[in-house]
Structure 1
Amino acid sequence: MEEVQAAVTAHLDQVSGLVQALSSELRSGIGPAADSLRGFVRAVDWTEPWLMGLMAFHASLLLTAVGLRRHANLQFFLLFLAYSGVYLAQKINIYLAEHWKSFASRNYFDRAGVFISVVWSGPLIFISIVSVVSSLITLCQLMIKWKRAELRHRVRLARDKQE
């Protein structure tokens, strides 16, 4: 019995420690994360031509996703391309880490892939989310149209039966 009580006490102490750690992190707010983000933004030379080209690519891809919101097949193709880009991010990171001197002033491509995740995968995932939300909205509108047509058809059938 004492062993069970000791185990429960040890478990409660561990849970208490975790709750205190979580509480202190929540009290500190988003300050540390914001500081890390500011440091990242300051560490990158955003005026490099290849980065500006990459940002233009992502902006044009986003505008394409918004512009094609009524074309389901093209939306799914765009979604496939975006997810393929995210899937290939690790291979792209390895390649760019080996050849960074030919296009960049600094080697941004670490082994963990943080930089490529932020500037390549992050925007692609955002564009994918926009595409999926747009497709869901289109699907909901189509379901509403279909249901209205079904209700009109039922009213016509009911009217025909009465006559």
Structure 2
Amino acid sequence: MEDLRSAMEEHMELMADLVQKLSSELRSGIRPAYENFMGFFHAINWKEPWLMCLLGFHVFLLIVTILSRKNTNFLLSLFLLALLGVYFAESLNKFLGGNWKEFATQNYFDPSGLFLSVVWSGPLLIIAIIILINTLFSMCYLIVRWKRAELRHRAKLARNKQD
């Protein structure tokens, strides 16, 4: 019995150490990520005309997505176009990286494509996710309508059979 108790105490001490290490890593892990994000955010001149147009484009696309939430065919086309925009982001990054002097004050387009992923692909993926969630809700609503119609039809057949 004593061996069991000592084994349990060792296990509990080990678990407490693991939890303490995990919590200290989480506390220190959020701060550097926040500092990196703030450094990224402050390194960009958000008042450049092309960036303002790009952000306006994403806001416009989001508004169009929300306003056309009941038009499934249009949303499907918009969904595919958004995913195509993400697909071609690497080519776009290379093209813009080679021609940045014509429209920007500094070269934002690094070879890894981080900047373009944040300002181009990220918003497009968020819009695509919104469209996907809307489509799933629409499909659920359609299934419920279909099932109700089926139950009404069966009830009508059962009444006709009884008469």
Please list every run of 5 or more consecutive structure 2 residues that lacks an aligned counterpart in the other structure.
Answer: 1-17
Relative contact order, higher structure (CA 8 A, sep 6+): 1
Of 71-80 and 125-134, more deviation after overlay is shown by 71-80
User: Do residues 109 (structure 1) and 109 (structure 2) align?
Assistant: yes
CA deviation after TM superposition for structure 1 residue 161, in Å: 1.3
SS at match of 1:30: helix
User: Do residues 119 (structure 1) and 119 (structure 2) align?
Assistant: yes
- Counterpart Cα distance in 2 of 1:89 and 1:22: 36
If the length of structure 2 is used for normalisation, what is the TM-score? 0.83
Of 28-37 and 51-60, more deviation after overlay is shown by 28-37
Question: What residue is the counterpart of 1:13 in the other structure?
Answer: none
SS at match of 1:69: coil
CA deviation after TM superposition for structure 1 residue 26, in Å: 2.1
User: Do residues 66 (structure 1) and 66 (structure 2) align?
Assistant: yes
Question: What residue is the counterpart of 2:50 in the other structure?
Answer: 50
Question: What residue is the counterpart of 2:158 in the other structure?
Answer: 158
Root-mean-square deviation (Å): 1.8
Of 63-72 and 117-126, more deviation after overlay is shown by 63-72
- Counterpart Cα distance in 1 of 2:56 and 2:78: 17
Question: What residue is the counterpart of 2:6 in the other structure?
Answer: none
- Counterpart Cα distance in 2 of 1:42 and 1:107: 15
If the length of structure 1 is used for normalisation, what is the TM-score? 0.83
CA deviation after TM superposition for structure 1 residue 19, in Å: 9.4
Moved over 4 A (4+): 18-24
